[in-house]
Structure 1
């Protein structure tokens, strides 16, 4: 049985610059649960122009989810020709369904390919 969850994209920090040392990112975040072609859900934040590495998003989105789902978080740099993939992470939702709320920083990318961090607050909405 699925329940509604609220996902708040609070801020990102230390995002790698995709447009060179002097370039600035135009980051946005895409959140998804499930495969979008099979009835999954997807939400996208506003694009924040000309950011150096730290971004205040302050946006929230409602999803329907099960404890077995995972939230996919992808950060992109908006570009004229094609958007650069800054990095991503996946968050299993099982802990959220046990605790009711998770508020923490997540690494974007892994190992030597860490591309920054994103702060999220996930809340299980009880009807």
Structure 2
């Protein structure tokens, strides 16, 4: 088992979850594995009142991981009653373990359900 770091840099073109004139309060949730089987989960701070492009505070999270794992990314809109799911994706980690580091935009959603993109820097630590 190795350690990886995931740096959440920014998001762009996020779809609005609070109506045409509403603003998102986005945050990113990152996880590896299933939570009932000892999975790991981290989330960024919420960035209030955003309309599409979001600059996160370059938050960095560490995970135990192996090449066969997937990093699950969820972008959510923080609301009082129930957080809205803006979009999500999964990133296979085999390429990361081959290259050592990846800086890339990842599409949130698929096909006609694309909900934006998030930029991450993934690094193998050990």
| TM category, shorter | over 0.9
Give, in angstroms, the shift of residue 7 of structure 1. Answer: 0.2
Residue 92 of structure 1 deviates from its aligned partner by: 0.1
Q: Take 2:81 and 2:125, find their aligned partners in 1: how far apart are those partners? A: 39
**Cα displacement string for residues 18-41 of structure 1 (whole angstroms, at most 9, x for unaligned residues):** 001100000001000000111010
1:38 is aligned to 37
Aligned to 1:11: 10
What is the match of residue 77 of structure 2?
A: 77
Query: What stretches of structure 2 of length at least 5 have no aligned partner?
Result: none
1:16-95 alignment, distance < 5 Å: 16-57=15-56, 58-95=58-95
Deviation at 1:15, TM superposition (A): 0.2
TM-score between both structures, scaled by the size of structure 1: 0.97
Aligned counterpart, 2:104: 104
> What is the RMSD computed on CA atoms of the aligned residues?
0.5
Runs of 4+ in 1 over 3 A off after TM superposition: none
List runs of 5+ in structure 1 lacking aligned partners.
Answer: none
Mapped to 1, the partners of 2:78 and 2:18 lie a distance apart of: 10
Shift of 1:79: 0.6
For normalisation by structure 2, the TM-score amounts to: 0.98
